[in-house]
Amino acid sequence: MWRVLGCKGCGSTIVEAALALAQIPYEREEVAYDQPAGRKRLLEVNPLAQVPTVILPDGSVMTETAALALHLDELVPTAQLLPPTGDPLRPHAQRWLVFLVAAVYPTFTYGDDPAKWVGDAGERLREATLEHRKKLWRQLEGVARGPWFLGERFSILDVYVSVMTRWRPRREWFAQACPRLSAIATSLDRDPRLAHVWAANF
Ligand SMILES: N[C@@H](CCC(=O)N[C@@H](CS)C(=O)NCC(=O)O)C(=O)O
């Protein structure tokens, strides 16, 4: 059985959704990464103490949402988390998948609890990372094709958009500034395949 160490509404929701789309059953362990007990639990298996941390059926540990998405895409290609190998859309999708985790996600790493990194200058870092994040989202808005991020083809990128638009600057900002991403997010809210994942997380 797959085991997802996650916390409500966090990046672990992306992996839960990917598992649901792949129709892979999993156990979920709620772990508050920002509380001492949760951090202790995560450190047992992940030196970064981040969620998602996933224990695979063979007992090995995997982290990083993008790596997990690629792994699940290989395990269950019929889930169509990404366009298939050889499809020209696949490298395009990989580019923006990595952009989401390598450019957008770190703005939360450094902006969510900025005092951890720069003490009293924390508020400035919070504002700076938020402004940078808005710039990155506007870039993604320019690339999103509609009705899904890749156009007619649904993918794991839509799951990232749906989950991450719930985080600061949040859905109201997206509705104004990034209408294509906002439409993707709200469409996915209504996907019956993911109803139980959303209900457990939001
Ligand atoms: N690159 C990682 C980022 C995971 C991540 O930053 N998760 C957040 C929660 S949404 C977290 O655990 N933050 C606590 C920390 O970074 O100390 C991924 O894509 O899985």
Mean pLDDT for the stretch of residues 154-177: 98
Query: CB of 137 closer than 6 A to ligand 1?
Result: no
- Phi/psi for 85 (5° steps) reads -55, 135
Instruction: Indicate whether residue 69 lines ligand 1 (CB < 6 A).
Output: no
- Residue pLDDT, tens place only, 178-194: 999 999 999 999 999 99
Residue ranges and CATH numbers for the domains of the chain are 2-80 (3.40.30.10), 89-191 (1.20.1050.10)
Which pLDDT band, with edges at 50, 70 and 90, does 105 fall under?
A: very high
Distance CA 95, CA 98 (A): 5
The whole-number average pLDDT for the span 77-96 is: 97
Q: What is the pLDDT of residue 67?
A: 98
The pick from 31, 50, 104, 156 for probing ligand 1's pocket by mutation, whose C-beta has the most ligand atoms within 8 angstroms, reads 50
pTM above 0.95, yes or no: yes
Q: Find out whether the beta carbon of 11 lies less than 6 Å from any atom of ligand 1.
A: yes
Structure tokens at 39: 């951090």
> pLDDT > 90: what percent of the chain?
100
Report which secondary-structure segment, H or E, holds 172. Answer: helix 170-177
For residue 68, the ligand 1 atom closest to its alpha carbon is: 20
Does the beta carbon of 51 sit less than 6 angstroms from any atom of ligand 1?
A: yes
105 lines ligand 1 (CB under 6 A): yes
Single-letter amino acid, residue 32: A
Compute the distance from residue 48 Cα to the ligand 1 centre, in Å.
8
Q: Which residue has the tokens 């859309």?
A: 89
The DSSP element (H or E) to which 61 belongs, if any, is: strand 61-63
